[in-house]
Amino acid sequence: MKKVVNGLQLFGKSMFAPILILPIIGLYIAFGNVFGNGNLAQYIPFLDHPVIQNIGKFISSSAVSILQNLALIFAVGIPIGLAKKDKGYAALTGLVTFVIFINAMNQVLKLSDRLVPAEEMQMAGQGMVLNVQVLEMGVFSGILIGALVGVLHNKYSSTEFKGVMSIYSGHRFVAILAIPTAMLLGAFAAEFWPIVQNGITNLANGIKSMGAFGFLIYGFLERILIPTGLHHLVYTPFLYTELGGTQSIAGEIVHGARNIYFAEMADSSVKVLSDTVNWDARGLSKMFGLMGAALAMYMAADKKKRAVAKAILVPAAFTSFLLGVTEPIEFAFLFTAPILFAIHAVLAGVGIMLLHIFDVHAIGANGVIDFLLYNLPLGTEKSNWPMFILVGLIMFAAYFVIFRFLIVKLDLKTPGREEDTAAEGQPVQAKREAAAGNASAMGETIIAALGGTENIENVDNCYTRLRLVLKDPGKVDEGLLKETGSKGVIKSGNNVQVVYGLNVKTVRESVDQNLGGI
């Protein structure tokens, strides 16, 4: 079980690379939509000019093209996340292997005379990928190839041959293994993917049949798995595969809540967004709920310690509100009051369920900045975004009342209620500032707290966490890590996550400098 959990954590982390780039693409689609759809022209007259509208359509249409090639993005991005070294070569192998895979599938379909004319592709479950006609696997094909290349790269990229065979060593040997494997997988996919597709369709229909309760369960799981890092495995299939819905938009079949939203946003003929976008409404708890939780923790703090609580809670809450990055505020109460985190997960699910019940079709996964860019240009009819705000205010009140009641009733040690906080805070802060002033010194301190260089097998990071594989997690000195700015440590087998917040990239670089390329 430990190996399974470790493997899932590593796989979940690997999807962070492609997932991280997609919201950027979304911003460009939204930005182009601001100028191109004309809904804001009644408030800003110059947006009604044909030149401005054409520029907007040019930007959004160019960015939307990424949605048609998501499988390639994952095939290249996942090896980057999985590879322990030579990430660039891993990505290149992923690209080559993916091209081989889709062409192998095309050849099997062609040789068995199963390729259908263009006008029949949708009905036959076929589509064009990189101008190659194949079975419509969507993003699953990219995930499959990316995982394959990542595993082969880590296992065989250090293989060395001698003499004239040395040219086939290292990453070239990985390609030698990956290419024929991709050919076989392409052939198998041509034969067996329809069976898998039926299973996915049945699962999607089963989830859909749960109605509002399905959204509650989804929202709960997406939050409760945050500490393990497995939440990526919950929301990614709903955002980018058939599990999140299927729609025909402008003559194209589109899979996944996020993809459907962007396609419908860019299509002026769509008057009301599909309810599938609610799978991407995770921002409700981020923008409103956690703000209520932060206020509750501040109000429940001891009056003499409210300044300390404010210093912790205000930046963390606004990071969640503005950017949708929740770990800083969630880890403020996760370890000291886990019951609050369980309540938070339930409320997050309730919020998404309410959006479904009230027929709200607004997206809001990454904070208020994304929310405004994505939804305001659409107008109220298409997304019903004002109701999103109303439901958000309800969630703000629910979080505040429930959190404050439980904190006081159970005497939970949330920020400002810890024992001896005042006595310990000053020296810890002084050490943290000293370490921050010298990146090299901070890196040395972190490495020492992790058990030394010899205890570290791999270092990576995501939005807010330093992700490591350690030989002996028992050697971690959590107290020393806290002095470098850590907000919490999560251990699962040999996988250790150290939460730092948005400055984690700087932390990672300071560690890398002292590790010498591990």
List the catalytic residues: 462
3-state secondary structure 138-194: CHHHHHHHHHHHHHHHHHHCCCCCCHHHHHHCCHHHHHHHHHHHHHHHHHHHHHHHH
Cα 213 from Cα 221, distance rounded (Å): 12
CB contact burial 134-163 (16+ within 10 A = b; e otherwise): bbbbbbbbbbbbbbbbbbbbbebbeeeeee
488 - beta bridge partners? 499
Terminal Cα distance for the chain, rounded: 27
129 - beta bridge partners? 132
Other CB atoms within 10 A of residue 88 CB: 11
Helix axes 232-240, 212-224, angle to 10 degrees: 140
Q: Name the token pair of 201.
A: 């369709």
Name the 3-class secondary structure at 463. Answer: coil
Name the 3-class secondary structure at 487. Answer: coil
Q: Name the token pair of 111.
A: 């040789």
Tokens 């305001």 identify what position?
A: 376
Residue 266: half-sphere exposure toward Cβ, Cα within 13 Å? 29
**Phi and psi dihedrals of 246, rounded to 5?**
-135, 130
Q: Name the token pair of 318.
A: 């606004």
Cα 379 from Cα 275, distance rounded (Å): 16
Burial class (CB in 10 A: 0-12, 13-18, 19+), 32: buried
